[in-house]
């Protein structure tokens, strides 16, 4: 069996020149220091018993705001080309608008400057789910003025950081915001209303388009967005219509408007009993279709479906027909091996997702902006978490991504999710995705074997 270093070396030889290797995090999942900002819908959601499995709230998370220097050192040690983080909207404006929050602005200055000093490209996401509560109270992503508010937020960020942030993502995974937050009650704000789920998806896209215009007017470089896309597998060969509609609800509902094709007709038809889509306007669709410089894909698992088998598939986060309103009744049938999220590990589906996306959004360079896995992390060697499952996962998925490149996909980089163990939303601290272990009691950071592996890949290129 090859050593980790030998495996890292072999993988590194496939990495093309200029291909970006990085790690990713998001604000609410790591920052802590909630008193230094305003409240978000995730704070409200976390305050209700039962919403987050282990009762985790925003503090201290990874206490990243107070441990920024340590975390910057960690990134420098890893040697990443880029670091993907998100701005917390309520840390920029405590109430989402109006007076800027000086300490919040200063924090992101220190983060961005600290990255640049270490030669690491800051890859910023404007919105990774922590909507200011003030807007949540007014209807959140189904409140029409949210599009204008997002434009104002883009203006504030661009004014301050456009000269130093290397790449801009408007949104992270609008499917999750809309389908887990509005169509169902799994995520904040927990609306549980499928019709609002579709309206939220549309308004998120519209806000994206508005932000693209604002960022461009400030000469912000590399403007794009991030979707969680995947391959839908018709496992029993009897679920082709289910495959088509779930593909539409997961992938095409975002890619088609971005490519200027509007909302897919089959999805309008499949959801006719839920919404009449009357909130969609031509002006909105025009803004949504503004050209972007790149698209980020967050990929973890395929969606493998079959006709109902009535057998128990156990725990799978985010895979059931409730999160796909309008889909026919199918069953999700992930195969082994699976991660702790219940998600099937199937690197080939990353290749197909990239190939399909490149066809659906031609001419737009792609990045893997998140990829990784939650594993038990219970094997320790010399005080280090020996997370060989995660090493295997990352190695096989980087290879699968490079296979897509070999098939002609313009793939420019890969970001591992996540730099460190953090709050996995409704799963709280129970699921660990970090390549660096974080002790929730002491906040001590300890690189896992996967961190050493990624570091070795980067160093050996
Ligand atoms: O932790 C999340 C992240 O915030 C968004 N993408 C998926 C990850 C794992 O569930």
Domain hosting 121: range is: 4-224+339-460
pLDDT for the residue 379: 84
* 120 in any annotated domain: yes
Any atom of ligand 1 within 6 Å of the Cβ of 287? no
From 199, 287, 340, 370, the catalytic residue = 370
Centroid of ligand 1 to alpha carbon of 418 (angstroms): 8
Q: Work out whether the CA dihedral 122, 82, 25, 70 comes out positive or negative.
A: negative
Contacts of 132 (CB under 8 A, 6+ apart): 38, 39, 40, 41, 89, 90, 93, 94, 95, 96, 97
Can you give the CATH number for the domain in which 190 is found?
3.20.20.80
- Catalytic annotation present for 395: no
Q: Which of 26, 40, 428 to mutate to test the pocket of ligand 1 (most atoms within 8 A of CB)?
A: 26
pLDDT for the residue 316: 75
Centroid of ligand 1 to alpha carbon of 23 (angstroms): 13
pLDDT for the residue 319: 81
Q: Whose CA is nearest to atom 9 of ligand 1?
A: 424
* 292 in any annotated domain: no
* 255 in any annotated domain: no
**Rg, Å, the chain Cα set:** 21
Any atom of ligand 1 within 6 Å of the Cβ of 173? yes
* 55 in any annotated domain: yes
pLDDT for the residue 21: 99
Is residue 297 within 8 A of residue 365, CB to CB? The reply is: no
* 199 in any annotated domain: yes
pLDDT for the residue 166: 98
> What's the first-to-final CA gap in the chain, in angstroms?
22
* 264 in any annotated domain: no
Q: Which atom of ligand 1 is nearest to the CA of 318?
A: 10
> What string of DSSP letters covers 418-452?
-SB----GGGGGGS---SEEE-TTT--EEE-HHHH
Q: Which atom of ligand 1 is nearest to the CA of 418?
A: 1
Say how far apart CA 179 and CA 249 lie, in whole Å: 9
> Can you give the pTM of this predicted structure?
0.98
pLDDT in tens, 92-117: 999 999 999 999 999 999 999 999 99
Any atom of ligand 1 within 6 Å of the Cβ of 421? no
Please count the structural domains in the chain: 1
pLDDT for the residue 310: 62
Regions of the chain short of the pLDDT cut 50: none
Q: Whose CA is nearest to atom 4 of ligand 1?
A: 26
Q: Whose CA is nearest to atom 1 of ligand 1?
A: 424
pLDDT for the residue 403: 98
Centroid of ligand 1 to alpha carbon of 88 (angstroms): 16
From 173, 199, 287, 395, the catalytic residue = 173
Q: Which atom of ligand 1 is nearest to the CA of 424?
A: 1
DSSP 3-state of 313: coil
- Catalytic annotation present for 199: no
* 445 in any annotated domain: yes
Centroid of ligand 1 to alpha carbon of 26 (angstroms): 9
pLDDT for the residue 1: 81
Q: Whose CA is nearest to atom 2 of ligand 1?
A: 424
Any atom of ligand 1 within 6 Å of the Cβ of 424? yes
Q: Which two tokens stand for residue 204?
A: 């998120």
In 173-302, DSSP assigns E strands to 223-228, 232-234, 294-298
Q: Which atom of ligand 1 is nearest to the CA of 26?
A: 4
pLDDT for the residue 77: 98
Any atom of ligand 1 within 6 Å of the Cβ of 389? no
* 437 in any annotated domain: yes
Any atom of ligand 1 within 6 Å of the Cβ of 370? yes
Centroid of ligand 1 to alpha carbon of 217 (angstroms): 30
Any atom of ligand 1 within 6 Å of the Cβ of 230? no
Residues in the chain: 461
Is residue 65 within 8 A of residue 27, CB to CB? The reply is: no
């Amino acid at each position: 069996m090859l050593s980790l270093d030998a495996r890292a070396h072999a993988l590194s030889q496939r990495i093309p020149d200029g291909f970006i290797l990085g790690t990713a995090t998001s604000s609410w999942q790591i920052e802590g220091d909630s008193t230094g900002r305003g409240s978000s819908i995730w704070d409200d959601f976390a305050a209700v018993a039962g919403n987050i499995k282990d009762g985790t709230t925003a503090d201290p998370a990874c206490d990243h705001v107070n441990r920024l220097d340590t975390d910057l050192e960690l990134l420098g040690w890893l040697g990443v080309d880029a670091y993907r983080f998100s701005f917390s909207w309520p840390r920029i404006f405590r109430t989402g608008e109006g007076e800027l929050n000086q300490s919040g602005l200063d924090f992101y200055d220190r983060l961005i400057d600290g990255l640049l000093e270490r030669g690491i490209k800051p890859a910023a996401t404007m919105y990774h789910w922590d909507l200011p509560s003030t807007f949540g109270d007014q209807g959140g992503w189904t409140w029409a003025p949210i599009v204008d508010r997002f434009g104002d937020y883009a203006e504030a960020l661009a004014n301050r950081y456009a000269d130093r942030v290397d790449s801009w993502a408007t949104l992270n995974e609008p499917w999750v915001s809309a389908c887990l937050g509005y169509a169902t009650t799994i995520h904040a704000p927990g609306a549980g209303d499928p019709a609002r789920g579709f309206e939220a998806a549309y308004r998120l896209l519209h806000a994206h388009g508005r932000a693209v215009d604002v960022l461009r007017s400030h000469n912000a470089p590399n403007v794009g967005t991030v979707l969680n896309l995947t391959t839908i597998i018709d496992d029993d060969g009897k679920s082709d219509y289910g495959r088509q509609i779930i593909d539409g609800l997961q992938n095409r509902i975002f890619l088609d408007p971005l490519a200027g094709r509007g909302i897919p007709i089959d999805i309008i038809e499949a959801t006719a009993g839920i919404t009449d889509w009357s909130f969609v306007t031509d002006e909105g669709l025009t803004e949504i279709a503004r050209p972007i410089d790149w698209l980020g894909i967050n990929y973890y698992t395929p969606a493998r479906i079959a006709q109902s088998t009535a057998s128990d598939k156990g725990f799978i986060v985010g895979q059931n027909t409730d999160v796909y309103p309008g889909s026919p009744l199918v069953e999700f049938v992930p195969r082994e091996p699976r991660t702790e999220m219940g998600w099937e590990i199937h690197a080939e589906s990353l290749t197909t997702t990239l190939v399909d996306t490149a066809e659906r959004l031609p001419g737009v360079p792609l990045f893997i902006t998140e990829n990784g896995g939650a594993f038990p992390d219970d094997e320790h060697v010399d005080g280090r978490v020996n997370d060989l499952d995660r090493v295997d996962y990352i190695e096989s998925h980087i290879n699968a991504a490079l296979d897509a490149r070999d098939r002609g996909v313009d793939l420019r980089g890969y970001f591992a999710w996540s730099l460190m163990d953090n709050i996995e939303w409704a799963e709280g601290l129970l699921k660990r995705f970090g390549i660096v272990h974080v002790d929730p009691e002491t906040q001590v950071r300890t690189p896992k074997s996967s961190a050493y592996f990624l570091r070795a890949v980067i160093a050996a290129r």
